[in-house]
Amino acid sequence: MDVKSIYRPVLTSSTKPGKNMRKADYIYLDSNASTPLIIEAKQAMEEYYFDNFSNSSSAHASGRRVKDAIEEARAVIAGCLNAASEEIVFTSGASESLNLAIFGYHHLDRDRARGKTLAVGAIEHHASLYPALETAKYGASVIEVKPEFDGAVSAARLEEAASKACALDFASFMLVNNETGVIQPVAELVNVAKKYGACFLCDAVAAAGKVPIDVRALGVDMLALSAHKFYGPKGCGILFVRRGTRLAPRTLGGSHEFGLRAGTLNTPAIIATAAALKKAGEDFAEREKHCLLLKNYLFKKFEIFAKNNIDIRYNSPAEKTVSSTVSVSFKNVEAERIVEYLSGKGIMVSAGSACSSKSGAKASHVIEAMGVPFEYAMGAVRISFGIYNEICDIDILTSALVSMLKK
């Protein structure tokens, strides 16, 4: 196969990365879990650790300079999402953003939740699924909408669920699934939710840098991001809140972030987040081509499993997933065993299932909701590429997997 990288020089199994290309002594194929800090973000944040360290709420000149830098970063992020600056709220991460969006929504507080109806995707990340389910304790009715067999939640299924309930007050659906990489039809889901007058929250954490995100085109009321998923720093989240969407703060204290989140702002992380998100947009086409090349090469290399009578199943159709994510199941092999074996070989991937020695293997809620047969669901592994991965990584991964599974 003729391999030529668009994003950076490609290495094959017969070559090794130069010292300037990889500092870690392992192969990282778990970019959906976290990404390294790109140099542009690192350089942007360094100034605010010492030279401009002031509290942005301070009234003096030094504080005002920091405040201006934060507002400039807010404007950059807003521009990347086609939002207004005053619609961008900074948090500590996606989990806080999603919790603020759900528990802070004025119709879902303890006194008003009774009798309200929420629809949430059965394949959502626990950071949004669990808060949605928690509202049932306040008297809300929560509907989990299952996906089709291809891993996407269809507008027809949301329509069916809402019509049966005869109401819909809140809907929470992700843009890209973090385990399978399947792109969800959010704009279509929004149309159904709006027909019932529902507020729509979108978890776009696994989508940032992988698909274009335009909050106006999507029509969402709220949308959450996490910086460390697109080569920004850990500890910084973003919540887009459309004008007119009523939220109450979950953290009380000062009047920071338009009164929605008290606490001194994490200036270095915010500045770096803006730099990383801007870079993701500028390099989108190059990154897409690079990851698509890796993904196609992986599919080609994985043909070796059939030749060795190793039974595998792809958990999401290639044409409906982002280029950086592949979910594959190995029949009758626990995913945790695969992850541990590969880790011992210096190859980092993620399990798409959770296994317990006490209760036996249990498929992840995402794979289970898709209706994947148990003998495959228990062996679901997620391989997610990043901008620093190379062809040689896939060669080494495939070789290690064949060595393990043939035994």
Amino acid at 88: I
Is there a contact between 270 and 67 (Cβ–Cβ < 8 Å)? Answer: no
**Cα–Cα distance, 214 to 280 (Å, whole number):** 14
Q: Take residue 332 and report the two structure tokens written for it.
A: 């009758």
Question: Rounded to whole angstroms, what are the CA distances from 110 to 98, 103, 104, 128?
Answer: 17, 9, 10, 18
The alpha-helical segments, DSSP class H, found in 86-228 are: 94-103, 126-134, 155-165, 186-195, 215-218
| Assigned token pair, 199 | 């507020």
Residue partners of 386: CB distance under 8 A and separation at least 6: 28, 31, 35, 36, 291, 324
Q: How far is CA 130 from CA 32, 64, 142, 144, 206, in A?
A: 20, 39, 11, 11, 18
Per-residue tokens: 129: 């699924």
Helices (H), 241-325: 267-282, 284-301, 304-307
Q: 194: how many CB neighbours lie within 10 A of its CB?
A: 15
Reduced to 3 states, what is the DSSP secondary structure of residue 210? coil
Q: Please, which residues have CB within 8 angstroms of residue 278's CB and are 6 or more apart in sequence?
A: 76, 80
**Distance between CA atoms of residues 379 and 324, nearest Å:** 20
Active-site annotation holds for 80: no
Q: Please name the residue that has the structure tokens 């290309």.
A: 21
- Cα–Cα distance for residue pair 84/51, rounded to 1 Å: 29
Nearest to 155 by CA among 176, 186, 124: 186
- Burial classification of residue 156, based on how many CB atoms lie within 10 Å of its CB (0-12 exposed, 13-18 middle, 19 or more buried): exposed
Catalytic amino acids? 355
